[in-house]
């Protein structure tokens, strides 16, 4: 396989194999469009906690993987529908959409002849946006909040807005922009983190330093967001920045026409405020232990599962595993908290179990974890096929009891590693801080992790504040303890 000395973005598209079709007794068929519609575009609940995720820095990997998704990274919007949304891709790259104080601005990025404007000219334009006079509109008068609410009401309001000439022009600015830039106020109403003011260039950050910014990246101030946009760059006054990404792959000036959507605006704003108040998000930093190399991802995954089993007992968890080694591959789930983890948890809690036995159980759990991840990456996972069966059943108007039971079981933990920091797209002065997403269930946890400088592990833990069984800070502490125990057990001498 040859791609030349300077391979392009799509150099490997012609040689990547399609995802394998397992035997008939394992599954039936897979269709990319059905996957998008069933898993992503059919979601009717608010996007901030069910469809979007955030990143504090974006990186790229080095393996040849499918590039199909990159085609929709820019110039893409999710358009709401009554029963199912759809993706729109088009437009040009002449201007980006900018939100500041809930107001929409169109900022050109090219000059005569399609020439890209130099950084100094872009800086002047953004400075003019920041200095724009006049009081900002009230949150309940900014349609951006509608993108944070349930999808059917937003679909009806957008159709009404589209009928107005000025509103339609503003919607085109948002839809056709390559991406959106949100210039935000200080997160958390300007309150400093619990640790006090964080250091300007603290790397890795301390526990809690990034909590408010992480929550703002995921939920916003919703009046200064357009969650339908595929890619939004959020910039804080501190100079820190991050991304909000619509998973399925901005603010029209409608103050004079609010009669047609005021009720939906109020409902969406109320729903967004409830989401924000109910989301507990904690960014935890675990320093690398001295001595042996940093723990592998498989050991960190076992620490997550061990912490969960200690808190919850037997339950369901999954790790999102990319399948982009295949053409148009998306993601698969590697299930955790299986019998080897349960046996390990029992042994770790039993003082009568010797170190040798614990190490043997740890080895078995690590082998299962790596095997499940390898199976998921190579197209032999389980959940993608179950979702494909559910999509086909929905098309045939069937409701098999088996699928209802299996897919209806709640996930207690969803986990995913953030993109690797090698090689960085941004300079070393902008260190990675990972990213995260909302919990998969009202009584579940969402955990994302990455490695910071000096091999520190940065965890982003989310859960519902209203849940009687979850607490983000407590669970982060349990992960820290479990990782320390497993690392010591793996690295120490056997008795």
End-to-end CA distance of the chain: 49
Gap between the Cα atoms of 380 and 162, Å rounded: 45
Place of tokens 């022009």: 169
**DSSP 3-state assignment of 52?**
strand
**DSSP 3-state assignment of 428?**
coil
Residue 301, CB-side half-sphere exposure with 13 Å CA sphere: 28
Residue 373 falls in which region: left (phi positive, over 0), alpha (psi -120 to 50) or beta: alpha
418 contacts 432 by C-beta, under 8 angstroms: yes
354 contacts 346 by C-beta, under 8 angstroms: no
CA separation, residue 86 to residues 79, 168, 331, 339, 486 (Å): 5, 18, 20, 41, 45
431 contacts 70 by C-beta, under 8 angstroms: no
Q: Cis omega (within 30 of 0) on the bond before 204? A: yes
Gap between the Cα atoms of 294 and 315, Å rounded: 28
173 contacts 144 by C-beta, under 8 angstroms: no
The enclosing H or E element of 308 equals: helix 297-312
- Pairing type for strands 317-322 and 331-336 reads antiparallel
Q: Active site residue: 38, 40, 247, 282, which one?
A: 247
**DSSP code of residue 299:** H
Concerning whether 100 is annotated as a catalytic residue, the answer is: no
Strand ordering across the sheet containing 95-100 = 103-108, 95-100, 180-183, 231-235, 241-246, 52-55, 435-436
Place of tokens 């098309």: 395
461 contacts 278 by C-beta, under 8 angstroms: no
The enclosing H or E element of 483 equals: helix 472-491
Which pair of structure tokens corresponds to residue 64? 């040849």
**DSSP 3-state assignment of 476?**
helix
The residue among 184, 200, 177, 175 whose CA lies nearest residue 234 is: 184
285 contacts 202 by C-beta, under 8 angstroms: no
Give catalytic residues, as residue numbers: 247
């Amino acid at each position: 396989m040859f791609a030349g000395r300077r391979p392009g973005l799509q150099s490997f598209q012609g040689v990547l194999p399609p995802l394998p079709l397992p035997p008939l007794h394992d599954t039936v068929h897979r269709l990319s469009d059905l996957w998008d519609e069933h898993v992503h575009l059919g979601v009717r609940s608010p996007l901030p906690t069910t469809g979007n995720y955030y990143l504090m820095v974006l990186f790229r990997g080095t393996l040849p993987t499918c590039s199909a998704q990159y085609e929709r990274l820019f110039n893409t919007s999710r358009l709401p529908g009554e029963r199912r949304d759809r993706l729109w891709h088009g437009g040009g790259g002449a201007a980006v959409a900018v939100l500041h104080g809930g107001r929409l601005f169109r900022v050109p990025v090219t000059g005569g002849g399609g020439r890209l404007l130099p950084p100094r000219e872009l800086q002047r334009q953004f400075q003019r946006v920041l200095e724009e006079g006049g009081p900002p509109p009230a949150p309940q008068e900014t349609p951006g909040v509608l993108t944070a609410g349930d999808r059917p009401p937003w679909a009806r309001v957008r159709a009404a807005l589209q009928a107005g000439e000025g509103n339609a022009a503003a919607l085109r600015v948002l839809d056709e922009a390559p991406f959106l830039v949100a210039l935000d106020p200080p997160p958390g109403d300007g309150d400093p983190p619990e640790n006090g003011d964080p250091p300007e260039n603290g790397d890795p950050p301390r526990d809690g330093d990034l909590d408010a910014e992480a929550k703002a990246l995921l939920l916003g101030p919703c009046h200064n967001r357009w969650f339908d946009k595929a890619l939004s760059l959020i910039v804080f006054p501190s100079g820190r920045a991050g991304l909000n990404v619509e998973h399925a792959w901005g603010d029209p000036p409608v103050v004079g026409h609010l009669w047609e959507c005021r009720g939906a605006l109020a409902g969406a704003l109320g729903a967004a405020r409830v989401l924000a108040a109910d989301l507990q998000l904690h960014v935890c930093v675990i320093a690398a232990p001295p001595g042996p190399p940093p723990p592998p991802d498989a050991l960190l995954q076992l620490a997550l599962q061990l912490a969960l089993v200690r808190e919850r007992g037997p339950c369901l968890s999954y790790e999102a595993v990319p399948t982009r080694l295949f053409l148009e591959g998306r993601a698969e789930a590697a299930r955790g908290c299986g019998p080897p983890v349960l046996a390990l948890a029992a042994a770790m809690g039993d003082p009568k179990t010797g170190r040798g036995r614990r190490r043997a159980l740890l080895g078995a759990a690590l082998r299962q974890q790596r095997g499940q991840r390898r199976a998921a990456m190579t197209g032999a996972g389980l959940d993608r096929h179950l979702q494909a069966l559910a999509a086909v059943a929905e098309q045939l108007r069937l409701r098999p009891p088996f699928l209802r039971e299996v897919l209806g079981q709640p996930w207690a933990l969803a986990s995913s590693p953030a993109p690797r920091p090698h090689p960085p797209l941004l300079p070393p002065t902008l260190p990675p801080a990972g990213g995260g997403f909302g919990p998969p269930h009202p009584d579940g946890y969402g955990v994302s992790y990455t490695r910071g400088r000096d091999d520190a592990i940065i965890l982003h833990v989310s859960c519902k504040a209203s849940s009687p069984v979850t607490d983000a800070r407590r669970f982060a502490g349990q992960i820290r303890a479990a990782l320390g125990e497993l690392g010591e057990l793996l690295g120490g001498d056997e008795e």
